[in-house]
A and B are shown apart, each in its own frame.
Chain A
Amino acid sequence: MASLIMQMLEGTVTSLRIFFLTLLFSLPLGFVVAKGKMTSIRPIRWITDLYIQIMRGTPLILQLIFFYFAPFYIFGTSYDRFTACIVAFVVNYSAYFAEIYRSGLQSIDRGQHEASKVLGFTKPYTFFHIVLPQVIKKIMPSLGNEVITLVKDTALAQTIGVAELFRVAQTASSREFSTIPIFIAGIFYFVMNYIVSRLFAVAERKLDYYR
């Protein structure tokens, strides 16, 4: 039992690595994508839109397989599973975050931009000091949702053989003819998401000082 828990903790570390690396890259990249979708330059808007449509319109599991095998068929080389897994997650989650950012950016009253312009703020200043803080407050609930989904989606990495928590649990389960490892994995995911949702609750409360 103790060794099972140790194995599962190792799997959890891999799951957490997927989780944090995905957030690290897709949270900022999502902004770039959102900007691309909101630009007045049409070709960029079309490409961005197509990208978002594909990412949202096809299963993540399929995207994982694609990013693992495509380099081999296209370039004749492949990279390791973990890298492929991170690439797939980042590309997928950037699309979802982009849509969340876009909804947030569009919900900011035009008057905020106009007041900033009349007061003489530069565009970057307006974005970082006036718009962004308000966007973050507005999107907190949807962002929380998406991050919680990400915790559970890390289980899909096993499709391309990444030994994350769920794969470890499944292997143990078939080795020991028992479903208990799977249930333990369930508790692990639940605990992780409990922490995530508590953190988001704290963040939302911190931003509650204004309306």
Chain B
Amino acid sequence: MEKMINLENLSKSFGETKVIRNISFTIDKGEVLSIIGPSGSGKSTMLRIITQLERADDGTLTVDGDTLFRSVDGKAVYDRENERKIGLKTGLVFQSFNLFPHFSVLRNVMEAQRAVLKRGKDEAEAKAMALLRKMGLEDKARMYPFQLSGGQQQRVSIARALALDPKILFFDEPTSALDPELTREILHVIRALAEEKMTMAVVTHEMHFAKAISDNAIFMDGGVIVEEGTSLFSDPKEERTRRFIASFENE
């Protein structure tokens, strides 16, 4: 299996606080990885490092064969030439959507295609409309984000990320700002993408969903991977994982 993500010995501190301690994992092409764990366990920071919103302190990361940073004498050394190239291969969907409020839905999905990939207007629009159709939002193309529900906004932001044809899509708690009904909307979309063999990594608190779509799973706590593998949902080996999983059973 070809590797989409190969992360080795990642470490990251904010000031004195170590948020990620020596984490390694891989994601195969076409695989869906779910990342679970309590708040403050370093899950989001890890996604933000891979999507270049934060800098790694130490470790080695290869994305689709290109190295973003490499550990040299205990420090992550970035390959500047690959930063942009890798940035185009990775997409990120935020918890708070972060749509551009002053752009129509259509323009939100078109803007980066035009400005970054330099696609022509017709091509970008056709692509955007196809994605909006896929998200069931064809009729909302001319509307503005504030006119949409949270679930619809999140679907637009997924379309916006997909418009750049990323090789891997990251989701940072994509449903945490949504009520249960809207959460289902989004989970449905992610599941459909999984069926198309889109490579994805999802930070989520939706255990049943994570269990259903994941090819692999990691449980993080205190900046380390406590347990790995989909068996952690049904048959956790570690006491810490067991307690975390059990806290969802009682819901």
* Chain A residues within CB distance 8 Å of chain B: 109, 111-112, 114-115, 117-121, 125, 129-130, 133-134, 137, 209-211
Contact = CB atoms under 8 A, between A and B. Distances in A.
Nearest to B146: A211
A117 B53 CA distance: 8
Nearest to A134: B102
A115 B102 contact: no
Given A210-B144, A210-B145, A210-B146, A118 B91 contact: yes
Tell me the dominant secondary structure on chain A's binding face: helix
Interface of B: 51-53, 84, 87-88, 90-92, 94, 96-102, 111-112, 115-116, 144-146, 157, 160-161, 164
B84 A115 contact: no
Contacts of A111: 94, 96-98
20 contacts: A109-B96, A109-B98, A111-B97, A112-B98, A114-B94, A115-B98, A117-B52, A118-B161, A119-B111, A119-B116, A120-B116, A121-B115, A121-B116, A129-B115, A130-B100, A134-B101, A210-B101, A210-B102, A210-B144, A210-B145
A125 B98 contact: no
B59 to A, nearest CB: 20
Given A111-B96, A114-B53, A118-B91, A211 B101 contact: yes
A209 B144 contact: yes
Contacts, number: 58
Give the interface centre of A119, A125, A129 by most chain B CB atoms within 10 Å.
A119
B115 A125 contact: yes
A133 B102 CA distance: 8
Given A118-B91, A119-B160, A210-B145, 10 more contacts: A111-B96, A117-B53, A118-B53, A118-B87, A120-B84, A125-B115, A133-B102, A210-B144, A211-B144, A211-B146
Contact of B112 (A114, A120, A209, A210): A120
Contacts of B115: 121, 125, 129
A111 B52 CA distance: 14
Nearest to A211: B146
A112 B160 CA distance: 13
A114 B145 contact: no
Contact of A115 (B90, B100, B146, B164): B100
Contacts of B101: 134, 210-211
A115 to B, nearest CB: 4
Contacts of B99: 115
Contact of B88 (A120, A125, A137, A211): A120
A130 to B, nearest CB: 6
B112 A121 contact: yes
A137 B52 CA distance: 30
Nearest to A207: B102
Contacts of A130: 100
Nearest to B101: A210
B94 A137 contact: no
B102 A137 contact: yes
The 4 A-B pairs at the shortest CB distance, nearest first, are namely: A111-B98, A115-B98, A119-B112, A120-B116
B48 to A, nearest CB: 8
Contact of A119 (B97, B146, B164): B164
Nearest to A136: B102
A211 B101 CA distance: 6
A130 B96 CA distance: 17
B107 to A, nearest CB: 10
B175 to A, nearest CB: 16
Nearest to A209: B144
Contacts of A115: 94, 98-100, 157
